[in-house]
Amino acid sequence: MKTNDMISMLAANIEPIDYGALARRYRWALMAGGLGSVLVLLATFGIRPDIDTMLVTPLFWAKVAFPVCVAAAALLGAARLSRPGMLMGRTWLLLAMPIAVVWLGAAYTLVVAPSPERLPMVFGSSWRSCPFNITVLSVPTFIAVFWAMKGLAPTHLRKAGAIAGLLASSVASIAYCLHCPEMEVAFWAVWYLIGMLIPAALGALLGPRLLHW
């Protein structure tokens, strides 16, 4: 076969690029995973009984804002890492910002609090279960996000797996806010973050196995 004939044959079989595939896959993944996390929450932990009061409490929305901001930054990172050869770039800064803000808020509340109250502010009443509850709630979104990412073309598989796990756990943390009774910033800064990092670590371990193509 002549070179020109081969080029013509290959060019004839080129399909147009679907530029909406990435947004569409992640939209469905987050919708399905988020719904799954809420259903698991309702089936296992339940919603806190004073949720009506919490919905008009600014501090509750500050608690929700923490995982929402992490999820938004993780979604941007996941979108970048889903493309061949792409890295996080400056998205790491966006990811670090909500964590830094919560840490600063936690530091301030601990400094102004009397000494005997500081440890209870950090540990609350549910520190033993909080990270694991978030991990359990992450499972539906973890599966959905890995499905979305695998159907694209990630090449940095450990980093992609880690950010996929973090996206899943931050979405799960949003759902967990409906149950969690803890209202201290210091508690979120430690145990919510640990709960989000566990699936991120699992994602980094599983990324090379689950995301290869």
pLDDT given for residue 210 in this prediction: 86
| Residue 68 CA: distances (Å) to CA of 84, 148, 206 | 27, 20, 24
Q: What is the pTM of this model?
A: 0.88
Mean pLDDT of 55-61: 95
CA separation for the pair 141, 27 (Å, rounded): 11
- R_g over Cα of the chain: 21
pLDDT of residue 116: 93
Longest dimension (CA), the chain: 83
The mean per-residue pLDDT over the stretch 157-182 comes to 96
Query: Which candidate, 65, 77, 78, places its Cα nearest to that of 25?
Result: 78
pLDDT at 78 over 80: yes
Task: Taking residues 161-185, report their average pLDDT.
Answer: 96
Q: What is the mean pLDDT of residues 204-209?
A: 93
Q: How far apart are the first and last CA of the chain?
A: 30
The pLDDT of residue 168? 97
pLDDT at 39 over 60: yes
Residue 203: band (very low, low, confident or very high) from pLDDT cuts 50, 70, 90? very high
pLDDT digits (tens, 9 = 90+) for 80-121: 998 887 778 888 899 999 999 999 999 999 999 999 999 999
